[in-house]
């Protein structure tokens, strides 16, 4: 798909994932941004930067915005969705912890693989996301389990920053995150909608 104008992400939006990293479940969506320059297409290698010892996959449901949403209601936001994409919120976990904020850990080049866009609005509370590394299942979640369901999440974001056509909202990752090594193949599947599969390399 075309490069998004911005990528808005939400942290700790599945209870079990918040727990596995020792974090509380937030009382309001915990937002951060990934730079559009991090986006890569299926098949393009994810490059592990030399400064990180721990690069994790995070399989996520990506929502593609189809309308201008400014201070919009959840209903307006649901109607303003253009499609969905499989998205890998690749994260340098050690740098995320040491930096105290997440721009570097989440923002390296190649850290945002995005799959082909499925155009339409699927049942927003019943999208299944599966992550496999070298064919082995590592994560399986459903948007039924989101702490902040998609329409309300989009509305919350739209009261902070205007969502514009082509923007992508990454809705958080379920439990089961883990590391990627050079030579791995990592695949995120939104079952029935979109898949993104990428090899992993170490920085030369």
Minimum CB distance to Zn ion smaller for 58 or for 167: 58
Region from 15-23, 31-39, 85-93, 137-145 binding Zn ion, contact rule CB under 5 A: 85-93
Minimum CB distance to Zn ion smaller for 30 or for 72: 30
131: contact with Zn ion by CB under 5 A: no
x-or-dash pattern for Zn ion, window 43-82, by CB under 5 A? ---------------x------------------------
Please report how many Cα atoms fall inside a 13 Å half-sphere around the Cα of residue 106, on the Cβ side. 23
Burial class of residue 175, CB neighbours in 10 A (0-12, 13-18, 19+): middle
Backbone angles phi, psi at 17, to 5 degrees: -75, -40
Q: How far apart are the C-alpha atoms of 30 and 182, rounded to whole Å?
A: 30
Out of 13, 88, 155, 173, the only residue in the binding site for Zn ion (CB under 5 A) is 173
- Which H helix or E strand runs over 154? helix 150-158
Minimum CB distance to Zn ion smaller for 173 or for 194: 173
Backbone angles phi, psi at 126, to 5 degrees: -150, 40
x-or-dash pattern for Zn ion, window 5-44, by CB under 5 A? ----------------------------------------
Owner of token pair 């155009």: 119
CB 87 within 8 A of CB 57: no
89: contact with Zn ion by CB under 5 A: yes
CB of 71 to Zn ion, least distance (A): 25
Minimum CB distance to Zn ion smaller for 57 or for 193: 57
Owner of token pair 């050079």: 182
x-or-dash pattern for Zn ion, window 133-172, by CB under 5 A? ----------------------------------------
CB 48 within 8 A of CB 56: no
Q: How far apart are the C-alpha atoms of 9 and 33, rounded to whole Å?
A: 6
CB of 93 to Zn ion, least distance (A): 11
Residues that bind Zn ion (CB under 5 A): 58, 89, 173
């Amino acid at each position: 798909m075309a490069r998004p104008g911005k990528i808005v992400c939400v942290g700790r939006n599945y209870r079990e994932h918040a727990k596995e990293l020792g974090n509380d479940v937030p009382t309001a969506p915990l937002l951060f941004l990934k730079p559009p320059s991090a986006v890569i297409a299926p098949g393009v290698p994810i490059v592990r930067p030399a400064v990180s010892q721990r690069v994790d996959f995070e399989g996520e449901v990506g929502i593609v915005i189809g309308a201008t949403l400014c201070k919009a209601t959840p209903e307006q936001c649901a109607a303003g969705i253009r499609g969905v994409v499989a998205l890998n919120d690749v994260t340098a976990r050690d740098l995320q912890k040491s930096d105290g904020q997440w721009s570097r850990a989440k923002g390296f080049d190649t850290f945002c693989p995005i799959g082909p866009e499925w155009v339409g609005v699927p049942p927003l509370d019943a999208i299944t996301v599966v992550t496999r590394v070298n064919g082995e299942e590592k994560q399986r979640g459903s948007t039924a389990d989101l702490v902040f369901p998609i329409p309300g999440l989009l509305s919350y974001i739209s009261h902070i920053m205007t969502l514009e056509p082509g923007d992508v909202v990454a809705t958080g990752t379920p439990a089961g995150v883990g590391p990627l090594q050079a030579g791995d193949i990592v695949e995120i599947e939104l079952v029935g909608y979109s898949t993104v599969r990428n090899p992993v390399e170490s920085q030369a």
